[in-house]
Chains A and B, each alone.
Chain A
């Protein structure tokens, strides 16, 4: 038990260290997101649409695209250089490997992106009372997106991440619809506690189930 704990902690530390060193992998998407959010107001007629309205209209898809780009090659390098193979031989399954990758992605990609989104929400003059709801929505939304994108990446690992995105986008759309509805309710100042509960539940289930499914899919590719 202690050995397993040490092993898991080592794996988390290793993943965190690798991601920290691969600066373009975590910083690139944040910069890209920022550029998109800066560019958007320049492309529209601000007299006819308010900044806050624009933010709520574009934020979900911008975050989705940023998530896709930020985990575009999450398993690719590890698959081709044999790291995943080594993990499988060491642990006889890939659950720990995928779970550690997910945890580090949440800490080093999702949370910073959420923070920057909130900064832009303020810059776009979104009602300050919305910010806590937005923060929670963005975290849940990204956890669901990232889990699906991990699965998409895993399923098409040797065919490129675009195929994976095409395969899982239909499954991501309902989440997009749900969070779009949440933002509509927010705009209309309708409480969204039930959506928060549902989204939190879905993200927990997604983390558990999709980690399992992604691990099985990666193992299948190694066979």
Chain B
């Protein structure tokens, strides 16, 4: 296990309204972390601070080493006017074609490759957005409510992949309203 990040007393506020208060956490490789909290608790905000999209109002994040990261948030950055296949060619980076085909089959999206993205159901679109965790290689994956919109069978597939990533030495951080049944370090916000 290697130290990747030290989150030290992070606070964040907008217009003097505090969203995060003194959050501290050490993030290491080979570990899974879960941020739990209700709506507006600051789960997505904390992820974005870790990703350096937004600076904290107070506190700092100390990086022990540089590492590549992949963020999969609420939004689905795939275009409605392109097919699933065309979207994936733009969305994915450094992936193997065979691995992608296996993943599409696993997620029941193989037959939908030539379907316009807007014609897919929300659940299918969410699954497509999660494909990078199967085919891309990063040291850290940050997933914002990865199970939303998925049926139980696919939730299990995603969970299995997350466990496999941790087993391969990666770090997985995900957010959730309710505790997921996974072996991970939990941070309640």
Interface contact A223-B79, CB-CB below 8 Å:
no
Interface contact B81-A222, CB-CB below 8 Å:
no
Interface contact A81-B75, CB-CB below 8 Å:
yes
Interface contact A85-B54, CB-CB below 8 Å:
no
A86 closest partner in B (C-beta): B77
Distance in Å: Cβ of B114 to nearest Cβ of chain A = 14
Q: Which of A67-109 contact B (CB under 8 A)?
A: 77-78, 80-83, 85-86, 88-90, 92
Interface contact B79-A18, CB-CB below 8 Å:
yes
B55 contact set on A, CB distance < 8 A: 223
Interface string of B71-84 (1 = CB under 8 A from A): 10111111101100
A222 closest partner in B (C-beta): B53
Would you call A21 an interface residue if the criterion is a C-beta within 8 Å of the partner chain's C-beta atoms? Answer: yes
A17 contact set on B, CB distance < 8 A: 86, 90
Interface contact A14-B90, CB-CB below 8 Å:
yes
B188 contact set on A, CB distance < 8 A: none
Query: Could you say which of A77, A78, A86 has the most chain B C-beta atoms within 10 Å of its C-beta?
Result: A86
B76 contact set on A, CB distance < 8 A: 81-82
Would you call B58 an interface residue if the criterion is a C-beta within 8 Å of the partner chain's C-beta atoms? Answer: no
Interface contact A85-B90, CB-CB below 8 Å:
no
Would you call B25 an interface residue if the criterion is a C-beta within 8 Å of the partner chain's C-beta atoms? Answer: no
Partner of B53, one of A81, A83, A85: A85
Q: Tell me how many residue pairs across A and B have CB atoms closer than 8 Å.
A: 48
Interface contact A21-B82, CB-CB below 8 Å:
yes
Would you call B51 an interface residue if the criterion is a C-beta within 8 Å of the partner chain's C-beta atoms? Answer: yes
A82 to B81, CA, bound (A): 16
B81 contact set on A, CB distance < 8 A: 21-22
Distance in Å: Cβ of A55 to nearest Cβ of chain B = 35
Interface contact A82-B75, CB-CB below 8 Å:
yes
Interface contact B77-A83, CB-CB below 8 Å:
yes
Partner of A92, one of B52, B54, B82: B52
Interface string of B28-61 (1 = CB under 8 A from A): 0000000000000000000010011111000000
Distance in Å: Cβ of A128 to nearest Cβ of chain B = 40
A82 to B53, CA, bound (A): 12
A137 to B120, CA, bound (A): 46
Partner of A85, one of B69, B75, B79, B93: B75
Q: Can you offer 24 A-B residue contacts whose CB atoms are under 8 A? A: A14-B90, A17-B90, A21-B79, A21-B82, A21-B86, A22-B81, A78-B77, A80-B75, A81-B77, A81-B78, A82-B75, A82-B76, A85-B53, A85-B75, A85-B77, A88-B53, A89-B51, A89-B70, A89-B71, A90-B93, A222-B48, A222-B54, A223-B54, A223-B55
